[in-house]
A = this chain, B = another copy of it.
Amino acid sequence: MEEKEISQAVISRLPRYFRYLGELKDEGVERISSQELSGLMKVTASQIRQDFNNFGGFGQQGYGYNVEYLYHEIGKILGLDQTHKFIIVGAGNLGRALGNYLNFERRGFIFQGIFDQNPDLIGQMVRGLPVHPMEELETFVRENEIEIAVLTIPKTSAVAVADRLVQNGIKGIWNFAHVDLNLPEGIQVENVHLSDSLMKLSYNINRFMQEEE
């Protein structure tokens, strides 16, 4: 495969391909054409072919792609053939929800620990693991070679905690704190700003209702 820079827009679409192919595989479908996939996913067949060409095209034959092969290749591109150890910083409702989400483990994301500064939460169990105090964060990340930290803490503390994580070798941050983090190059950040998403929904509802009036 040629090494080239692939746009974040293409990368954003890969997990969705992976999800649809996983379902097709589970349903026993062996081959699928870009036209059929296009119909299922509501994207154009040419978009699909263009996206796949970034990765060498996955060898579409006259009668389509091999579903199992395509599923595994996209999984490999997404790094899902390896395991990734993660911790959660913030043991509030959202942090605990993410810790209990079993699907992540199926994809190779291994929940290793959860941290909070609230003394009332320390020692409580989340999916079999105790909540650690924040003082143990640095040592824990280094000793367990944690790759990913999930931040489910208020925005006021998120920037400082992210810096501590980066200094101790974290590779990526999955950021639910409602603030944009500016981290050194090479540290990957994926933001999930839930309020932003809700506001976008609100905009679209309002807009549609105005058009109807």
Q: Chain A interface (Cβ within 8 Å of chain B)?
A: 11-12, 14-16, 18-19, 41-42, 77-80, 82, 84, 92-94, 96-98, 100-101, 103-104, 107-109, 147-148, 171-172, 174, 178, 180, 182, 186, 188-190, 192-206, 208-209, 212
Contact = CB atoms under 8 A, between A and B. Distances in A.
Given A93-B97, A188-B208, A193-B15, A202 B84 contact: yes
A202 B93 contact: no
Given A203-B14, A204-B188, A205-B147, A198 B104 contact: yes
Nearest to A212: B186
Contact of A197 (B190, B196, B204): B190
16 contacts: A14-B200, A15-B200, A41-B180, A78-B202, A79-B205, A92-B97, A93-B96, A93-B97, A101-B194, A103-B195, A104-B198, A171-B208, A171-B209, A172-B202, A189-B201, A190-B200
B93 A100 contact: yes
A42 B98 CA distance: 29
B172 A16 contact: no
Contacts of A208: 171, 186, 188
Contacts of A100: 93
A98 B201 CA distance: 15
A11 B197 CA distance: 10
Contacts of A80: 199, 202
A194 B192 contact: yes
Residue of A80, A103, A178, A195 contacting most chain B CB atoms (<10 Å): A195
Given A79-B203, A148-B205, 6 more contacts: A93-B96, A96-B97, A103-B195, A104-B198, A148-B201, A190-B204
A145 to B, nearest CB: 13
B101 A199 contact: no
A155 to B, nearest CB: 9
Nearest to A92: B97
